[in-house]
Amino acid sequence: MKPLNVIAKRLLTALLAAFVLIGVWPAAPAGAETKEQVDEVREILEQLHLSKPDDSDLNQTAIDAMVESLHDPYTEYFDPEEWKSFSDSLEQHFSGVGIVLVQDAGTIYAEDVIPGSPAEKAGVKPDDVIVSAAGAPAKGLTIADLQQKLRGKEGTSVQLGVERGGKTLSFTLVRSSIQLPVAEGHLLGDGVGYLSLSGFTSDAGSLFEEELGKLEKSGMTSLVIDLRDNGGGYVSAAQQIASLFIQDGVLAHLKDRDGNDTPIEAKGGGKDYPVTVLVNGSTASASELLSGALQDYGIAKLTGTKTFGKGVVQSIIQLESGGVIKVTVQEYFTPNGRKVDKTGLTPDHAVNGTEEQLIAAFQDAGGRALTVEFGKSSVLINGIRTAHPGAAVQNGNGWSVHLRLAAALVGAQIGYDAKAKTVTVSRGGVVHKLSEGDARLTKKNGWNLIDLQTFAGWFPELKSDAAGGTLKLSVR
């Protein structure tokens, strides 16, 4: 068996930056492993894994069985093909046409189109209804079915049919290598900057810094960082981003299986504007690492829902005998020593609902003027698109809109009186009541929609503009 310092030296010299904090990756079944691979994985797990397994624990003869015996969803073995797939996912690369899909009542829409993708270049637009793909009707397909048809080897082509404005359009799309947007900045108005980070890729720190610089040069006076649905990635990227905000401190404390504490430094930064971080139940790993540090130092307030709670660190080790193993080696704690694993982070401002969270974060950051544009599959809030089919429905000459979204726009609260079976809309001590059978209330996908004319009558500052089958709401 190799001594611990030999394996540790390999880890430090070859993979110093490859500490990762990510969610569970569904690995495909591995092929046959050699005896050398099995022995090497056994050595690494015995000498590095956080749980301190020994030979009696690792009593299986195959790598997958050994890994499974640890009962750790984050320690995984990858053969070369699986590793490429995992690595591409971590770096947010894939081969396809670049359409973000959403489904409503059996209809699949293009919720968004990735900039620079084959779909965008061909003219596919958000809210297009997907009617066919690869020569097959889209009716009856799931999003996963349709994605399987649209993705494929780079350079190959696929036919796509969409419906737009009552017309059917056909596109021939040539699949290409696509990099999902990692960091995107946008001015929301009233001096509020918005910076979304979809993952902690190897270059996420540099991309974040670049977008932040653009916002600062544009006159931003407060910042919203969106880490919702960000499952994590490289610790080094989180460290680089944290160092933009923390003057002299640590990102987190990493503790190994012997209790040794290795702090990750974060220093050199400092901003003179307030920061709000958007989080939800899918904010995990490196996202929690960054969020927890900014919260502990009082740099940022967290808005949204409780985070996932994945507070252990993996190292990626290339096996000399072939393949790669991702092994849990440390648990991390926030700068103030808060535990994250299986606990998560509690937001300072608890808000449910994707659009409601964005509105709340904008207002927490000092924003006031809001505009919401409703599409078939999504809504645009001050230019930020979120998937939400059926958020507004046209009824003859009138409209019904998602009640909670409309209430968030005007700062009203929604309640429900179970005894009276009444929905309440309140603000400033004034309460409006609607019984469950009230014709002004309708149900869509389990949510209440309210007659817009009624709602605007209660809150006259809410302005509406309906033209060409589309609706826009605004408050100033």
Active site residue 296: yes
CA distance 245 to 251: 11
> How would DSSP label each residue in 144-179?
HHHHHHH--STT-EEEEEEEETTEEEEEEEE-EEEE
Active-site residue (options: 198, 287, 310, 364): 310
Q: 10 Å Cβ neighbour count for 191? A: 16
Q: 10 Å Cβ neighbour count for 431? A: 13
- Asked if residue 215 lies in contact with residue 187, where contact means CB atoms within 8 angstroms, the answer is yes
Rounded to the nearest 10 degrees, the angle between the axes of helix 354-364 and helix 403-410 is 10
Q: 10 Å Cβ neighbour count for 187? A: 16
- Asked if residue 388 lies in contact with residue 410, where contact means CB atoms within 8 angstroms, the answer is no
CA distance 174 to 158: 6
Active-site residue (options: 79, 128, 226, 296): 296
Closest by Cα among 180, 126, 186, 118 to 150? 118
Active-site residue (options: 198, 285, 378, 400): 285
Closest by Cα among 82, 100, 98 to 90? 82
Q: Which residues are catalytic?
A: 285, 296, 310
